[in-house]
Amino acid sequence: MDLGIADRRAVVCASSKGLGRASAFSLARAGCAVWINGRDETTLAAAAAEIRAETGARVSSVVADLSTEAGRAALLAACPDPDILVNNNGGPPYRPFSEVGRDEILAGVEANMLAPILLAKAVLPAMTKRGFGRIVNVTSGSVRAPIPGLDVSSGARAGLTAFLAGVAREVARFGVTINHLQPGAFDTDRIRGAVARQAAASGADPGAIHAARRASIPAGRYGRAEEFGEICAFLCSMQAGYVTGQSLLVDGGAFPGAF
């Protein structure tokens, strides 16, 4: 399917690996010029080279920590007027509620609520003026079904979702959409790290933990990052122009709800 976004400018945050990288790949395949971002220069450069080689797209990279004002400024200086913004950032680490303090809460809110709001605020005026814009926020399935130990992540991302709900309705008339993707368990470094920590704490075999997790998902497997990237690209497409203010759960059926 031609998504109708060839030659659009797309900024994909935290995209040197995982779901962000997959989203950048899919947008590049759709013909977008892509700006990718990460904190590790070597990993980011490798991702840029791979995307460029596979898709032939124009790919620029920006080394920056988007949890900081300086990092956000560097990203916007590299591409000040994107047509597409994919907000993504690493989530706070697992931490029991008894060990969560003020500093941990503030760091989580800065990374997973404030940073994407400020980036959206910076790019929305030009999007509304030109009559086209797509903002996709990568949040988490834990917004829908909180996971113990990820309270800071769940809270910050739920705050982002609620904050931008009204904004999505304000800008819809200008051809700008704002949506959220809520990933469940995907085969990425994040879930492998979580299983390793669980195994270390319990003494259980990591393979057995992985098998139990996969078995608990109705689809019977982890999601593939490439699948997520294609969904993200579709929400950025011309065909998705009537979809806004929505949160799409991408979890293989793990959340047991009718709605």
Q: What is the pLDDT of residues 3-58, one digit of tens each?
A: 999 999 999 999 999 999 999 999 999 999 999 999 999 999 999 999 999 999 99
Whether 68 maps to a domain, the answer reads: yes
| High-pLDDT (> 70) share of the chain, % | 100
Domain that holds residue 29: 9-186+223-250
What contacts 24+ positions apart, CB below 8 Å, involve 208-215? 213/185
**The pLDDT value given to residue 98:** 92
Residue 255 lies in a domain: no
**H/E element holding 190?**
helix 189-202
Report d(CA 222, CA 188) in Å as an integer. Answer: 9
pLDDT at 203: 82
Residue 195 pLDDT greater than 80, yes or no: no
Residue 63 binned pLDDT confidence (cut-offs 50, 70, 90):
very high
Q: Does residue 195 fall inside a structural domain?
A: no
Q: How many domains does the chain have?
A: 1
Residue 198 pLDDT > 80, yes or no? no
Sorting pLDDT into bands at 50, 70 and 90, what band is 236? very high
Structural domain includes residue 38? yes
Residues 105, 119, 252, 165, Cα dihedral to 10°: 90
The answer on pLDDT for 211 being more than 90 is no
pLDDT given at position 243: 98
* pTM for the structure as a whole: 0.95
Centre a 10 Å sphere on the Cβ of residue 104 and count the other Cβ atoms it contains. 15
Is the per-residue pLDDT at 74 higher than 90?
Answer: yes
Instruction: Tell me whether residue 257 is in a domain.
Output: no
> Between vectors from CA 79 to CA 73 and to CA 81, what angle results, nearest 5°?
105
Q: How far apart are CA 40 and CA 245, in angstroms?
A: 32
Does residue 190 register a pLDDT over 80? no
**Contact of 71 with 64, CB cutoff 8 Å:** yes
Q: So what's the pLDDT on residue 215? A: 87
Residue 218 lies in a domain: no
The CATH number assigned to the domain holding 61 equals 3.40.50.720
Phi, psi for 20 (deg, rounded to 5): -65, -45
Question: Does residue 95 form part of some domain?
Answer: yes
